[in-house]
Amino acid sequence: MKLENNLAFARSLDQADILSAFREQFLFPKHQGKDFIYLCGNSLGLQPKVSKDVLVKQLDNWANYAVEGWFDGDEPWMFYHKALKKLMAPIVGALPAEVCPMNTLTVNLHLLMVSFYRPTQKRFKIIMEGGAFPSDQYAIESQVRFHGFDPKEAIIEVFPREGEDNLRTEDIVTQIEANGKEIALVLFGGINYYTGQWYDMETITKAGHSVGAIVGWDLAHAAGNVPVKLHDWDVDFACWCSYKYQNSGPGGISGIFVHEKHFGNTELNRFAGWWGYQENTRFKMTKGFIPEAGADGWQVSCTQVMPMALYHASLQIFEHAGFIAPLRTKSIALTQYLEFIIEQVNTAIGTEQYKIITPKDSSARGAQLSIIAKQKGKLIFDGLFENHILGDWREPDVIRLSPIPLYNSFEDIYLTGEALLAVTKKVLNLQ
């Protein structure tokens, strides 16, 4: 399809969009009484309109049942997580038994590393992408120190080649193979938060396993954004937050994945808690930890009912939309249109003011485009805000824009380009 930079064309794409009605299920923030065009779902997803109702329902359960709410009512809290597991599994390509909603992302990363980072004097290194999100860096550094190793020796970071913005898969594989005998764990983010690059998870997982390493993934920017197949790709473990592309609210509950091949491994360490104990004998309060089967056995603290209810509400929207496949189709189209519109802005001002550092290949990116503003980027970002365009600013010069298929439209993209051109001309005195 030949793309066009005009409102009529954008609206024609919206009219043909089978997912367009889902936009009405979300609340948009306002600025000076007008809705924002919201392109920041990569940082915090919008609130589903049903969120308030599901919270009120659980507050009513608390009021009406008090402690008996754990076992009484139409959604007893004791077993509430099981309803979520069935809906989480298709989001990340897993079996329901392999996933569990619990805790927050970095807490889960630590808990999973307790089990799956098992260094020896010869095999103790962790390989990760350079420039990973700080939480991952800090968690990995602290785990390495906890085991008595020096992060400078134990952590291998893979960076893009000089003059390039993205990592090449062959460079990652080469580093894994070159250090294979010393690598205990391969741990990458599925999508890099800064550049928006979606790594070749299947190839990297195979490479890690080929040298005898465990392979885990932080899917903070991938879960609910791109199609992943954790079970089929033989990933050992993964975790993710649910408040970005999955719209569960600020600080929303996290999710974990543990491949079923590890369920019977009694040698795995874990930081145990009562809620991970075998469910059918949990209330006997006996000494000696016996884990519940599957990923549920990694639970520590009791169910976080309110955050779980918010996540459940959003997951049901994903279910009604057909989970990831139709969302991905629209996401590719939205992001391609945004890329086209940004190029049109560069053409209109006669120079490459905006450089997209996210891979051009749709198979190597999700909904996010990271854009270097070569001049006065923060002023331009602030100008977009005043024009009701809400994206995300990352120092020193990157604007992140993420059109989300559940609630963004092609008209949003066109209007963003129109505002970007006007703001750029004003800030750079090109009028």
236-280 pLDDT, tens digit per residue, is 999 999 999 999 999 999 999 999 999 999 899 999 999 999 999
- As given in the structure block, the two tokens for residue 322 are 């057909």
Domain with CATH 3.90.1150.10 in the chain: 7-35+323-427
Query: Per-residue pLDDT averaged across 171-178, rounded?
Result: 98
The amino acid present at 48, given as its one-letter code, is P
- As given in the structure block, the two tokens for residue 138 are 């800090």
Task: Name residues whose C-beta falls within 8 Å of residue 256's C-beta, 6 or more positions apart in sequence.
Answer: 99, 100, 102, 108, 111, 112, 237, 238, 239, 295, 298
Q: Do 317 and 48 form a contact (C-beta atoms < 8 A)?
A: yes
Task: Name residues whose C-beta falls within 8 Å of residue 72's C-beta, 6 or more positions apart in sequence.
Answer: 65
Domain with CATH 3.40.640.10 in the chain: 54-321
Q: Which of 247, 137, 236 is nearest to 194 (CA)?
A: 137
* pLDDT given at position 125: 98
Q: Which of 198, 203, 193, 195 is nearest to 170 (CA)?
A: 203
77-125 pLDDT, tens digit per residue, is 999 999 999 999 999 999 999 999 999 999 999 999 999 999 999 999 9
Domain range 7-35+323-427, CATH architecture? Alpha-Beta Complex (3.90)
Q: Which of 264, 308, 319 is nearest to 89 (CA)?
A: 319
CATH number of 54-321: 3.40.640.10
The amino acid present at 145, given as its one-letter code, is R
Q: Do 189 and 228 form a contact (C-beta atoms < 8 A)?
A: no
Looking at residue 48, the DSSP 8-state letter turns out to be E
User: ∠130-133-138 over CA atoms, to 5°?
Assistant: 90
Tell me the percentage of the chain whose pLDDT exceeds 90.
98
* pLDDT given at position 352: 96
Mean pLDDT of the chain: 97
Q: Do 420 and 346 form a contact (C-beta atoms < 8 A)?
A: no
Query: Per-residue pLDDT averaged across 398-419, rounded?
Result: 98
Angle between helices 410-427 and 377-386 (to 10 degrees): 130
Distance CA 98, CA 256 (A): 8
Q: Which of 197, 312, 184, 297 is nearest to 248 (CA)?
A: 312
Please provide the size of the chain in residues.
Answer: 431
In DSSP terms, which residues pair with 191 in a beta bridge?
198
In DSSP terms, which residues pair with 242 in a beta bridge?
none
345-363 pLDDT, tens digit per residue, is 999 999 999 999 999 999 9
SS3 state at 41? coil
Task: Name residues whose C-beta falls within 8 Å of residue 419's C-beta, 6 or more positions apart in sequence.
Answer: 384, 387, 388, 389
Sign of the four-CA dihedral 93, 259, 311, 201 = negative
Task: Name residues whose C-beta falls within 8 Å of residue 329's C-beta, 6 or more positions apart in sequence.
Answer: none
pLDDT band for 1, please (50, 70, 90 cuts). Answer: confident
- As given in the structure block, the two tokens for residue 150 are 């020096």
The answer to whether the bond into 396 is cis (omega within 30° of 0) is yes
The DSSP result for 281-321, as a single string, is GGGG--SS--BPSGGGGG--SPP-HHHHHHHHHHHHHHHHH
Distance CA 143, CA 137 (A): 10
Q: Which of 429, 414, 426, 427 is nearest to 342 (CA)?
A: 414
Task: Give residue 330's Cα distance to chain centre.
Answer: 18
Is the pLDDT assigned to residue 54 strictly greater than 80?
yes
Q: Which of 226, 273, 236 is nearest to 102 (CA)?
A: 273
pLDDT band for 381, please (50, 70, 90 cuts). Answer: very high
Query: Per-residue pLDDT averaged across 50-64, rounded?
Result: 97
Q: Do 9 and 337 form a contact (C-beta atoms < 8 A)?
A: no
Distance CA 377, CA 394 (A): 10
SS3 state at 51? helix
SS3 state at 356? strand
* pLDDT given at position 107: 97
Is this prediction's pTM over 0.85?
Answer: yes
